[in-house]
């Protein structure tokens, strides 16, 4: 008999035969299977019975665990959470979890991971690790919400489909770490977007790949890229797919500039948090040719600057433009940036040459003095 563990809105208990249908549905969910390539294909009733009667008991017997995450009122299976890869000599283990599609976006995984982590620390574990695919932003959110701190990237650490191995983001929590959430350098946008009624900024996502590829094969966009080389199709896919992960890690925020009236993607703008210790970040932007000349990048730069100064520790924003790129210089000046420096041979150029860079700066106090100018 597996003793139950109470959590906030969940109850951790042993798997039972009446969990079989929900276990079967959970492990055949496409979103779950995308990140758990080791599951049999298809996952059959026989496999579910094996999990209930064989795999889960073996995990407990080896010092790990496999708990059903159940609704405390109805006792229905909502998902599972467990501990594996136990190293008794180091008092260390790895925690994993999943949530069924019928129970997502309710804080189930966060409550389950927090409850099992506290139980593990209370019974002698000193360190728990949590590994997740870089594209699995939902899992990364759970890690941060439950006090697991990012520790880096493990190359090809996770088995993927078709024999291809995926990189893993490593998170860890120690027994004396607070239960979370971990403070983020770049919080979510309020309501998921920023808008002035004319343009809307929303986070870049994997579904934006076609638009992103079209934008980044424009000749003049490539010419102002550093270095001025078009990204490969695989690199463009990774940039879109990994954008939520970068935002959660706090190193960059990539956004799509959308025409509010039509919902059409028109360009992109990014914030790159280069120096958290000094409070300095950089912005950059690109527009589709058909949408230029409407003041959209100016509006986007102002919206992003206001958010950065109000919601993050950023105190200084920089942006660069090639000396020949007069249009970009006008955008920055209209957005309130002030020209600060001319940096010779700062940027890698085409065919091994180097290019000069004109640097512009916007300070938080500049906005307080001059105020935002959202007139394009």
40-70 residues labelled b (16+ CB within 10 A) or e (exposed): eeebeeebbeebbeeebeebeeeebbbbbbb
The Cα-based distances of 84 to 66, 158, 298, 355 in angstroms read: 8, 15, 51, 52
Contact criterion met (CB below 8 Å) for 116 and 165: no
What does the pLDDT read at residue 38?
A: 85
pLDDT greater than 60 at residue 151: yes
Name the token pair of 102: 């019928």
**Predicted confidence band at 185 (pLDDT cuts at 50, 70, 90)?**
very high
- Across all residues in the chain, what is the average pLDDT? 94
What does the pLDDT read at residue 352?
A: 85
What count of other Cβ atoms lies within 10 Å of the Cβ of residue 190? Answer: 10
Q: C-alpha angle 218/214/283, rounded to 5°?
A: 70
Read off the pLDDT of residues 18-53 as tens digits, 9 standing for 90 and up.
999 999 999 999 999 989 888 888 899 999 999 999
Name the token pair of 231: 């990204």
CATH architecture for the domain at 5-174: 3-Layer(aba) Sandwich (3.40)
Read off the pLDDT of residues 326-376 as tens digits, 9 standing for 90 and up.
999 999 999 999 999 999 999 998 888 999 999 999 999 887 676 555 554
pLDDT greater than 70 at residue 245: yes
Residue 45 CA to residue 24 CA, distance in Å, equals 7
Domain boundaries, given as residue ranges, for the chain: 5-174, 190-370
pLDDT greater than 80 at residue 225: yes
What's the Rg (C-alpha) of the chain?
A: 24
Q: Give the DSSP letter of residue 296.
A: H
What does the pLDDT read at residue 83?
A: 98
Name the token pair of 195: 């808008």
Task: Say if 5-174 and 190-370 have the same CATH topology.
Answer: yes
What does the pLDDT read at residue 167?
A: 93
What does the pLDDT read at residue 372?
A: 55
Closest CA to 364 of 279, 262, 259: 279
Instruction: Quickly name the fold that domain 190-370 has.
Output: Aminopeptidase (3.40.630)
| pTM above threshold 0.85 | yes
pLDDT greater than 70 at residue 109: yes
Q: C-alpha angle 124/130/131, rounded to 5°?
A: 150
**Torsion angle, CA of 42/160/213/184, rounded to 10 degrees?**
110
- The whole-number average pLDDT for the span 129-141 is 97
Question: Mean pLDDT lowest for which of 69-83, 161-175, 285-299?
Answer: 161-175
Residue 211 CA to residue 291 CA, distance in Å, equals 13
What does the pLDDT read at residue 371?
A: 58
Name the token pair of 100: 């069924």
Closest CA to 113 of 152, 82, 156: 82
- The whole-number average pLDDT for the span 133-158 is 96
Name the token pair of 309: 């100064």
**Predicted confidence band at 227 (pLDDT cuts at 50, 70, 90)?**
confident
Read off the pLDDT of residues 204-217 as tens digits, 9 standing for 90 and up.
999 999 999 999 99
Read off the pLDDT of residues 153-176 as tens digits, 9 standing for 90 and up.
999 999 877 778 999 999 999 999
Contact criterion met (CB below 8 Å) for 280 and 318: yes
What count of other Cβ atoms lies within 10 Å of the Cβ of residue 207? Answer: 10
| HSE value, Cβ hemisphere, 13 Å, CA-based, for 312 | 32
What does the pLDDT read at residue 41?
A: 86
């Amino acid at each position: 008999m597996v003793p139950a563990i109470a959590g906030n809105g969940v109850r951790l208990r042993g798997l039972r035969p009446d969990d079989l249908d929900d276990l079967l549905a959970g492990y055949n969910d496409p979103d779950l299977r995308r990140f758990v390539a080791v599951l049999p294909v298809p996952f059959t009733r026989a496999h579910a019975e094996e999990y209930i009667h064989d795999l889960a008991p073996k995990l407990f017997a080896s010092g790990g665990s496999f708990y059903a995450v159940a609704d405390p009122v109805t006792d229905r299976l909502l998902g599972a959470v467990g501990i594996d890869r136990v190293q008794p000599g180091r008092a260390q283990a790895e925690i994993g979890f999943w949530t069924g599609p019928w129970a997502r976006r309710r804080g189930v995984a966060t409550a389950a991971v927090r409850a099992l982590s506290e139980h593990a620390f209370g019974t002698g574990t000193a360190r728990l690790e949590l590994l997740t695919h870089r594209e699995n932003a939902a899992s990364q959110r759970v890690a941060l919400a439950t006090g697991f701190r990012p520790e880096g990237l493990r190359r090809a650490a996770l088995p993927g489909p078709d024999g291809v191995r995926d990189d893993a983001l490593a998170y860890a929590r120690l027994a004396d770490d607070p239960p979370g959430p971990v403070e983020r350098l770049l919080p979510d946008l309020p309501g998921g977007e920023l808008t002035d009624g004319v343009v809307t900024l929303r986070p870049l996502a994997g579904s934006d790949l076609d638009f992103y590829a079209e934008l980044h094969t424009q000749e003049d966009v490539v010419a102002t890229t550093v270095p001025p080389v078009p990204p490969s199709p695989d690199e463009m896919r990774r940039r879109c797919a990994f954008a939520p992960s970068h935002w959660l890690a706090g190193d960059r925020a990539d956004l799509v500039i959308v025409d509010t009236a039509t919902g059409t993607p028109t360009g992109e703008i990014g914030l790159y948090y280069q120096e958290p210790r000094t409070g300095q970040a950089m912005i950059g932007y690109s527009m589709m040719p058909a949408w230029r000349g409407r003041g959209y990048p100016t509006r986007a730069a102002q919206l992003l600057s206001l958010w950065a100064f109000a919601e993050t520790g950023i105190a200084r924003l920089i942006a660069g433009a090639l000396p020949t790129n007069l249009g970009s210089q006008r955008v920055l000046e209209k957005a309130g940036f002030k020209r600060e420096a001319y940096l010779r041979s700062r940027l890698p150029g085409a065919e091994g040459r180097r290019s000069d860079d004109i640097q512009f700066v916007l300070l938080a106090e500049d906005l307080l003095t001059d105020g935002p100018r959202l007139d394009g």
